[in-house]
Structure formats: C-alpha cells, structure tokens
Amino acid sequence: MRVRAFRRLWTAQFVANIGTWTQTVGAQWLMGDLGGSALEIALIQTATTLPVFLLVVPAGALGDVVDRRRQLLAGQSLMLAGAGLLSLMAALHHVSPGSLLALTALMAVGQGISVPVFQAIQPELVGPELIPQAALLNSANANVARAVGPALGGLLIAALGPEATFALNAVSFVGVLFVLATWRRERADRPLGAERVPAAIRAGARYIRSAPAFTSVLVRTALFMAFASALWSLLPAVARGPLGLGAGGYGLLLGCIGAGAIAGAALMSVLRTLIRTELLVTGGMVMFALTTATTGFVRSVPAVVVALLLTGLAWVAVLSTLNSSAQLLLPGWTRARALAYYQLAFMGGQALGAVGWGVLADLTGLTAAVVTSGLGLLAVTALATWRMPLPDSRHDMAWSGHWPEPPAVDAGPGPVLVTVEWRVQPTRTGEFLRAMRLVGRSRRRTGATLWGLFQDLEEPTVFLENFTVATWTEHLRQHFERGTEFDREHDERARACTIDGEPPRVRHYGWAAPARPGRHVLGHR
C-alpha cells in the first residue's frame, strides 16, 4: 500500500466492490418484498453473475490488446448508469421483478467488461518484487468486500429500505471513475503490434490448457463457488423462514460474515507464512462446508451467528489464496485473458450453483438444500485435494528473452514449422525426455498449436523436436514477448543433457503446400 497509484485505485475499487455487493443484497430483499419465490430470489445471483460469465473471456482478451484504462472507464460508466436508473426507479416505486432482474443484468455487463482488467492492472502499479503482496491485497479487496458489502446492505435495508442500497451503489462508482480518469498509465512498448481479439482468446485458451497448476486453481475455484453459492443465495430465505428474522436480523447475519471476513483478511499474511497453500485452501473449504450445513440445520440464532463468523473467515482464506495463486502463476502478456478464465470459473460456478440450489430449495425445502450443499462441498473438497493439488512454489513469470534471435525473413501469412535438433548423451536420455515433456508444455503455452518429439532410428542420440505456430508474427511473439524465466528453466534442463552442452540446431519453415494455409497436415490438434 506504499505505492500511491496502487493505494488510490485499490481504495476506490474497494468502495465500488462494497457498493456492488450491498446492492445485491438489496435486490434480493426487494425481490422478496415483491413476492418473489426462492427461485426468483436466487435468480438475483444469476443475473449478477451470468452476464459476467458470458463476457469475461472476450473482455479479458480485449484487456490484453487495447488500453486497459479506457476499457475500465467504459465498464464502470455502464455500471454507474445502470445503478443510477435502478435507484431512481426504486425511489419512484416502479420496480417489478422483471425490471429488477434486467437492470441487475445490465450492471453485470459493465462488471464483465471490467473485472478481468481490474485484476490484471494491479501488478502494473507496483514493482516486480511487490507482485505477491499486490496479488494478496487485490484478492483481499474483492473477498472482504464480498463479505462486508452484504452486511452493510442488511443494515441499510433495516434502517432505510432496499432503495438505499441502490443509491449507495450508484455513488460508489464515482471514486473509481475519478481515479481512472486521472491515472496516467504507461503505455507498453509493442514492436509487433497488438494482437487481434479472436487470436488473443485462442492464445489464452492454449496457455491454460498447457498450464496444469493454473488449471487446478480454476477447477478448485469453480467447485468451491458452485457449492458455496447456496449459502449466499438462500440466506435471505433462511433468515425470513426457519430463523424468523426480519431485515435487522438478516443484517446481523451478514454482519457476522463480514466480521469473520475482516478477521480472516487480517490473519492471511500470517497464515500464508505458516501454512502451505494446499492445506490453507482445503482447511478453509472444510470449514465453510461445516458452517454452511450448521446454518441450514440449526434453528438457534446464536449458533448460526457463530457459524457465520467462521464462514466469513473461511471464505476469505479460500478465495484470497486461490486468487493470489492464480495471479502469481501468470506472465504479464496473458494476465488479463487468463484471469478472465478465473472469473469465468468464479462467476460460472456461482451463477449455475445459485439456480441449482434455488430449484432444489423449491423442491425439497431450504433445510435440505443448504445442508446438502455443505455435505457436497465436503465430498468435492476431498476429491479435488486428491486429484488436483495446488502448487506451493512461486515460478518466475518475468519475460526472459532467452530465445535466440530469429532469422530476419518474411514467412508470409501461413503457419510456420520450427524444428529443433537435439544431440543427447546416451546416459541421460530418460532425463532429457522428462525435461522435454515440460518444454513441450512451454511451447504450447507460448503459442505452438502442434508439438512433437521424434528420435532418429539410425542415430538414437539425435532427437528432433518440431512445433507449428499459426503465423510468423505469432512465432516472433514467442521470441520477444512470451518466454518466461520459468520456461527458461525447462530449456536449460533439456540443454544440460546434450553432448558437450552443444546448443540445438533450429530451422524455420514457411507454408509451401498447395492446400490453403491453415489446413494442418502434420498431425492432429
């Protein structure tokens, strides 16, 4: 927080995040006042998250291509317009269930444009040595606001009615717009020019497919949100029904989650140094599962209050750890688009989960739905911990520049084939093959569409690596924009196995077949 630009934007974003979640609670409560069913109340969560789910990937790719500041200004302006219109309609008592869902979805469109870029620009504001702290603070920002905002919303509903939450949300965007308008962002040097958005989306998807550690973070996030969404979407109905509470009591329950979240955020810096990543996430998921089941089953308000305090702590522990892990696993060139997939997992799990738990609550009752979500989260936590463990080490994702200078040629618009001939010490063949498996992932992450490794049948010490790239420009991006220090480590392990440390011989081939460029003849995708 010592960096002024980071501090200003972080603070403004925190206020806006609180406003957004405050309004979500107000919308859920107003839907209940309008006579909405448990499903219609749960659909507020879906209207909040489904547009983000649909827009976040193209918005993330756009954020790696265009000026991120301007994209944020557009998204935040749209959210301000939607919040202002809903606030006015609520004050005039002209809100129906349909218009409430529609305006909530409109604001979610602006959020979908903004969310991946907000996450991506945080590390831009600090030096490389502060990226881990920035990632943790950015994660705490979103997740503490996610817990504190609903608590504040509950208090406002009790004191002034749900209309006050809409007005607060509209005002909360002013600070973000001011900070963004006055921020003088340094323009990145792009000698190869900006990528096209469709190509950027494909590049981001390729990166994730070849990054198993990041994929584990995505899956764990989606699973957690799918089951955790039951508590957030059905808590208003639990407060009204089994617990017999009004707006003030609902605000108390949300305040407990918020207090637990604040305590969790304060403890996270210490917990991260004492507890490894996997244990912290698994423990948090187990705690959230048990407290959710308790909230659904117990009819004692004091017991539920204690459970929700622990729920807030577990919420922050899980999501701040997953979010910071995601950011630390990404290089700068793909940060916005890859974090878009993180948001896709987050919002998609929440949106689909909210609908599912709402339907289950209508069919089986609130108690069965909430308790089932807690037990289900316990089961998927055990499975995910076994099958998809999270990494503890931090990879150096800075650009390395270790690729050799490419030839100055014009390869045309078609795909490019790159061959790399390795001469390997016979006694280190197994070690070389293990290293090359990681090299292959590195090539795919940085842009290769096909990759293969072949051994010379007549001279077994010779191995031929080949990979194809969509265009020559895309291959140049591998050289000048995408290779990281983490990728360099894999290359050096493979090179250590060569005869006398001999560097491999690299050749480049442009498309020459009569078939139209883009038709692959070397293998399958």
Local structure of residue 463 (DSSP, 8 states): E
Whether the per-residue pLDDT at 223 is higher than 70: the answer is yes
Q: How confident is the model at residue 44 (pLDDT cuts 50, 70, 90)?
A: confident
Q: Cα separation of 32 and 43, whole Å? A: 12
CATH of domain 416-510: 3.30.70.100
**What is the SS3 assignment for 414?**
coil
Burial of residue 468 (CB within 10 Å: 0-12, 13-18, 19+) is buried
Q: Report the pLDDT averaged over residues 459-476.
A: 92
- Residue 215 is predicted with a pLDDT of 93
Q: Give CA 225 to chain center in angstroms.
A: 12
- Residue 132 is predicted with a pLDDT of 63
Tokens of 254: 């949300």
Residue 238 CA: distances (Å) to CA of 233, 355, 368, 473: 10, 16, 11, 57
Nearest residue to 382 via CA among 291, 317, 287, 285: 285
Residue with the two structure tokens 């606030």: 87
HEC assignment per residue over 314-370: HHHHHHHHHHHHHHHCCCHHHHHHHHHHHHHHHHHHHHHHHHHHHHHHHHHCHHHHH
Whether the per-residue pLDDT at 525 is higher than 60: the answer is no
Indicate the average pLDDT of the chain.
Answer: 85
- At 184, give phi and psi (nearest 5°): -100, 90
Same fold, 4-182+194-387 and 416-510: no
Helix then strand count (H, E) for the chain reads 16, 4
User: 146-202: per-residue pLDDT in tens?
Assistant: 767 877 888 888 888 888 888 999 999 999 899 888 887 666 666 666 677 788 888
**Prediction pTM value:** 0.80
Residue with the two structure tokens 């305090």: 309
Cα angle, residue 290 at apex, residues 287 and 294 outer, rounded to 5° = 135
List the end-to-end C-alpha distance of the chain, in Å, as a whole number: 45
Q: Give CA 406 to chain center in angstroms.
A: 34
For the chain, the structural domain boundaries read: 4-182+194-387, 416-510
Query: Any residues with CB less than 8 A from the CB of 364 and at least 6 apart, and which?
Result: 372
* Least confident interval from 20-34, 117-131, 248-262, 403-417: 117-131
Architecture, CATH, for domain 4-182+194-387: Up-down Bundle (1.20)
